[in-house]
Structure 1
Amino acid sequence: MSQHKYENIKKHEAIPPAGSMIESLRDLGYSPETAVADIIDNAIYAKARNIWIDFKWNGKLSKISFRDDGKGMNEGELIQAMRPGSQSPSVQREVNDLGRFGLGLKTASFSQCRVFTLLSRKKNTPVTYWRWDLDYATAPDTEGWTILNTADEEDIQLVKNMEQGSMVIWQNLDRIIETHKQEINEDDFYIIAERVKRHIEMIFHRYLETGKLKILFNGIPVEGWDPFLKGEIATQPFPEESLENGAVKVKGYILPHRSKLEEDIWIENEKRGGWDTLQGFYIYRNERLLLAADWLGITRKKSHYKLARIMIDLPNHLDQDWQIDIKKSRARPPLSLRQNLKSIAVAVISQAEQVFRHRGKQVQRSLTGDFSFVWKEMVKDGRYFFRINQEHPVIVTQLAKFPDKKKEILKLLRIIEETVPGPAIIAKEHEFPDNMFKPFEKTADIEIFSLMKELASGWKQQGINDVIIKQRLLMMEPFSDYQQLIEAL
């Protein structure tokens, strides 16, 4: 229809100049981390089981290489892969395709280097290779979008020795070696490499954890880093919810309080940006992480939400609805899902806040009865205050020892209640949220053990069996923090 509409109109090709267009493609906002992730996406789509990434320092001659054992390409397929915009984003793709625009290999590579070479071979076929050299392609006397049939001999030989697979080489690393016209040194180069490795550990952690993919980074196996700490006993998962007729899966996780984690695990989260920073939604497409630690405008990051993380799984046919960008580092949910996601977020945040404020206590679903806190939260005329829980078994036991002094003891408790330094506690908790002592933390075990023993003895005299006693202690502050002592008792 549109062809006939302009049949008698004068026409002229508006092909963009290669130089200006390529330089523009270099500035889409890729970091070394996101660029490397795009190269790995192509290897995964090629059904690679193993990927070798090497950062090799040699001053301005430094290079970065990516080699995989995927299905490989013949020459026609490789030339098509080197063409910017090699596929339309509107074309339906295979379910495991991690690309969309047909730009990832080119824009990711352009963003970090001025020379990149793609080599490949299919099983029982010769090696094929082509190169982009931006200085050549953007030269005034070059015929536009020109790639070169050349590669370094050592790289050709390496691919030739493989049964099948592909290799991408980045050279003339102007965006990595020369940052703002200031050359970096070898230490800086490998600091960038370490940053890239840590990014890969998170972005592809589900592939790495299940063994679907193995990555060797400078010869060292990469291990997946799970932002949900699913392997920790104290992690609290929510039931999975389905949206969009089952196409979108959402699952919340409450991470353990610091008191429930080994110190090295806590520190590992701190190294990755800090616990406050890592809260929020994590959006995956085909198990590949697209967007990490973002509340999607539903709420702001707050210190007492730090244990809340929510996984969203998308299929690739919803890319457009979720506004997935070229770099695969941005995603925005459609308006039709925002209310559902907000409801899920509120539930997860509420539970995470309780775990944080009560220092890791979880109301264990397998146990009956309510958790016994020492302090009770009260509300009167819209204002909050706290009272000592006189029904707490320890309080009851101690009051029973001095029946004739009960009034005096209650007066003393009232003075304590009325003088709780709430503002000071809140200020310190906000300023140093992870540096507050837990109850009896610096006290000899014998002291808290004797309190447990006294309670247990009283309950036994009432004919209560050991199983119920253990359940009661696990559901009682402060003993819930000392499960190993309960087991010993």
Structure 2
Amino acid sequence: MTDWKFDVPVTGSKLLPPDPRYVEALSSQGYGFEVAVTDLVDNSIDAGANDVVIHFLRDGDQLVSLLVVDDGRGMDEDALDIAMTVGGRREYAPDALGMFGTGLKSASLSHAKAVTVVSTTKRTRTVGRRWLMEHARSGFRCDIVDPSYAQSLIDRYDNKRPIQWQGTIVRWDGVKDFPKHGGGGQTDRYLQRTINKLGLHLGLYLHRFLARDDFNITIAVEDVRTGTVYLDFGVEPLDPFGYPVTGKADYPRRFSAAVPGLGEGLTLDAHIWPPKSTLDEYRAVGTVIDRQGFYFYRNNRLVQAGGWNNLRQPEQHLSLARVAVDLPSVPSDMFRLTVKKAGVETSPDFVTAVEKACDTEGLAFTRYLAEADATYREARKRSGTVRKPVIGPGKGVAPEVRATIEEELPLLPYEEPIAVLWQKLDSDTFFDLDRENRVIVLNQHYRRAILGGRVGSLNDAPILKSLMYLMLHQVFEKEYSGSREKDNLQLWQSVLVSAARSELDRVTDNDG
């Protein structure tokens, strides 16, 4: 019988440096745009910054660069070399947000072909380094930025905002997410959509910092040719526990979970939101399924917003339940933070500890879940109407519309959602139903008329698509349609084709 041993015998070791193509893997970790920018702001916070400006630069209709500028301590040449080294190690303060030494590089190269970092301190000259993706692939060669250019970039923000005596600028060029052609208002629409999402993300994940009087994040857009500033506004904190009145008396309640090695245990601050809230603090986190569960913080930085981490399955009746958990400062095998700081992996011991958690009065954490569930159900009963569960909306319906529908209607679990998409159909048909693939198909022929001549997108025509979903979702929830339903479908088809043709004639006349 083979003698299995934990320690494998070895005869020596050899150095195996990473292949330069490792950089491609580093830049392919699935960083979302908002997550990547927030990672850069984390570095600014670690540097003691009071003001951070996220600066979109455009040249007319074309977006050219994105810069993150801060008034933190800055870096000298040695510190900048470490910061630009893949996996570069430095001593992190106990309350630092950085961990792995890869965030700046992986976040930046996930979204840009080049990342330039320029920094200055009160006692050292301005220095700069640049990573070009093509240079990184060919041997980890990092460019040294010309000192005069580095100083000119610092001077651009000196005595302006935010840099005065010290600070750092991270510049992205060749940003993959920027529109390739900015004409026809495409750049303006991109900026409006992107800045709104970025502001919400920063406001949520950094809300504890933004609530301080001495820390600010500004998002600005400037035309480099004319110097015109299009946007310049401060990011507001979005506290996911910032409700005006609790959803249930005696909440929030603090529970304690016994965790090996932590001594005092893990604190769980359990909240119940008031039903049917329209506040951004409640709605900023995805759907009703996404926003329930644990909100993990590490050094006051939110690193996971919602999710039950294998404690239980999410369900609509728990949409008011949110639990704040500050991760322990000492390392623990129970928690593992993802490199992107966008989620926490927990061990089975965490689930066991939470299931046994109690507050100081002996109330079990499982009782909290039951009371959050009951609060949601009671609010539904008070509305006077018990709504039947439905198949939810999916692709093609704007996320904010999906969130509202999911808030108002109970969803049938484990059902593929109903998409609403444009496709080619005969001109005498306004819509068609693909039951097998759960798609409401709208006639591409009438799209331009419906949109008033505007360029379409996946989630366009939100009013029309919402009405079509509300009219037709029941068709997908039944095995077959009776004669009355078929007659209704034909009626709607005829009226909508007539209306769409009328709209198309009006657009054509206007073009003429």
Common topology (TM > 0.5): yes
| Greater relative contact order, per chain length (Cα 8 Å cut-off, separation 6+) | 1
Query: What is the CA-CA distance between 1:199 and the residue it aligns to?
Result: 0.6
Query: For structure 1, which segment, 211-220 or 292-301, has the greater mean C-alpha deviation from structure 2 after superposition?
Result: 211-220
Q: 1:320 to 1:190 in 2, by over 3 A?
A: farther
| Residues 74 and 119, structure 2, Cα contact 8 Å, conserved in 1 | yes
| Residues 241 and 250, structure 1, Cα contact 8 Å, conserved in 2 | yes
| Residues 53 and 217, structure 1, Cα contact 8 Å, conserved in 2 | yes
Instruction: Report the equivalent of 1:72.
Output: 74
Q: 1:284 to 1:319 in 2, by over 3 A?
A: farther
What code does the residue aligned with 1:282 have? Y
Q: How does 1:42-81 map to 2 (within 5 A)?
A: 42-58=43-59, 62-81=64-83
Query: What is the CA-CA distance between 1:306 and the residue it aligns to?
Result: 0.8
1:147 maps to 2:156: no
Q: 1:154 to 1:190 in 2, by over 3 A?
A: farther
Query: What is the CA-CA distance between 1:274 and the residue it aligns to?
Result: 3.4
Q: 1:320 to 1:184 in 2, by over 3 A?
A: farther
Query: For structure 1, which segment, 222-231 or 317-326, has the greater mean C-alpha deviation from structure 2 after superposition?
Result: 317-326
The secondary structure found in structure 2 opposite 1:228 is: coil
Give the RMSD, CA atoms, in angstroms: 3.3
Query: What is the CA-CA distance between 1:192 and the residue it aligns to?
Result: 2.0
Query: What is the CA-CA distance between 1:153 and the residue it aligns to?
Result: 6.2
The secondary structure found in structure 1 opposite 2:112 is: coil
1:22 maps to 2:18: no
Q: 1:359 to 1:425 in 2, by over 3 A?
A: closer
For 2:142 and 2:247, how far apart are their aligned partners in 1?
A: 57
Q: How does 1:254-333 map to 2 (within 5 A)?
A: 254-258=272-276, 264-265=278-279, 269-270=282-283, 272-318=285-331, 321-333=334-346
The secondary structure found in structure 1 opposite 2:346 is: coil
Instruction: Report the equivalent of 2:240.
Output: 227
Instruction: Report the equivalent of 2:256.
Output: 241
Q: How does 1:66-145 map to 2 (within 5 A)?
A: 66-87=68-89, 93-138=92-137, 144-145=140-141
Query: What is the CA-CA distance between 1:86 and the residue it aligns to?
Result: 0.9
Query: For structure 1, which segment, 168-177 or 192-201, has the greater mean C-alpha deviation from structure 2 after superposition?
Result: 168-177
The secondary structure found in structure 2 opposite 1:130 is: strand
For 1:211 and 1:282, how far apart are their aligned partners in 2?
A: 24
Q: 1:215 to 1:48 in 2, by over 3 A?
A: same
Query: What is the CA-CA distance between 1:321 and the residue it aligns to?
Result: 3.9
Q: 1:293 to 1:307 in 2, by over 3 A?
A: same
**Which stretches in structure 1 are left out of the alignment for 5+ residues?**
362-372, 374-420, 437-489
The secondary structure found in structure 2 opposite 1:188 is: helix
Provide TM-score, normalisation by structure 2: 0.62
Cα deviation 1:312-340 (Å, max 9, x = unaligned)? 10134336541212111121223322212
Query: What is the CA-CA distance between 1:212 and the residue it aligns to?
Result: 5.1
For 1:168 and 1:230, how far apart are their aligned partners in 2?
A: 36
1:354 maps to 2:374: yes
Cα deviation 1:361-402 (Å, max 9, x = unaligned)? 9xxxxxxxxxxx9xxxxxxxxxxxxxxxxxxxxxxxxxxxxx
Instruction: Report the equivalent of 1:211.
Output: 213
For 1:429 and 1:331, how far apart are their aligned partners in 2?
A: 32
**Which stretches in structure 2 are left out of the alignment for 5+ residues?**
1-9, 221-231, 358-364, 393-404, 410-512
For 1:343 and 1:242, how far apart are their aligned partners in 2?
A: 7
Q: 1:428 to 1:34 in 2, by over 3 A?
A: closer
For 2:32 and 2:202, how far apart are their aligned partners in 1?
A: 13
Q: Percent of aligned positions with the same letter in both sequences?
A: 25
> Match for 1:334 among 342, 347, 354?
347
For 2:19 and 2:390, how far apart are their aligned partners in 1?
A: 58
1:251 maps to 2:269: yes
For 1:247 and 1:213, how far apart are their aligned partners in 2?
A: 31
For 1:332 and 1:188, how far apart are their aligned partners in 2?
A: 33
| Higher helix proportion (structure 1 or 2) | 1
| Residues 60 and 173, structure 1, Cα contact 8 Å, conserved in 2 | no
Q: 1:163 to 1:246 in 2, by over 3 A?
A: farther
| Residues 57 and 186, structure 1, Cα contact 8 Å, conserved in 2 | no
Q: 1:425 to 1:175 in 2, by over 3 A?
A: closer
The secondary structure found in structure 1 opposite 2:337 is: coil
| Residues 254 and 270, structure 2, Cα contact 8 Å, conserved in 1 | yes
For 1:429 and 1:17, how far apart are their aligned partners in 2?
A: 52
The secondary structure found in structure 2 opposite 1:192 is: helix
